[in-house]
Amino acid sequence: MTSVNITTQKNTVTVNGETSVVTITTAGPQGPQGPAGDAGSGFSLDSTNKVNGSVIYYDSSSATFKADTTTTKLTLVNGGNF
C-alpha cells in the first residue's frame, strides 16, 4: 500500500470566508471478487432469447434461470398460466 506523509501546509480551503482543515483518505482494501457466472454461485442466466418485457424465471428441467418469450409482462397480465 502506498503511504503519503504531508509535513507542510501547502494549500488552504476557504468556504464562505471560513478556513477549514480538509482530510483526504483513500478507499480501504476491497473484499475478494465474487464468482463470475455459474462458477460456484449456483446462478446461471440464459438470456439468449430475451425480448422486451421478459421476466426472469427458473426452469428446473435445465437447472437455469431464463429470460425469454415464454414469460413476459404481457403473458402475466393477460391471463398467463401460473
Whole-prediction pTM: 0.44
**Cβ(66)–Cβ(57) below 8 Å:** yes
Output the DSSP codes for 11-79: --EEETTEEE-----------PPPPPTTTTTS--EE-TT--TTB--EEETTTTEEE-SSSSBHHHHHTT
Bridge partners of residue 76, in order along the sequence = none
Give residue for cell 503511504: 3
- Mean predicted lDDT score pLDDT of the chain: 76
> Residue 50's pLDDT is what?
92
Q: Mind listing the pLDDT tens digit for each residue in 64-76? A: 899 998 888 888 8
Tell how far CA 45 is from the center of its chain.
Answer: 16
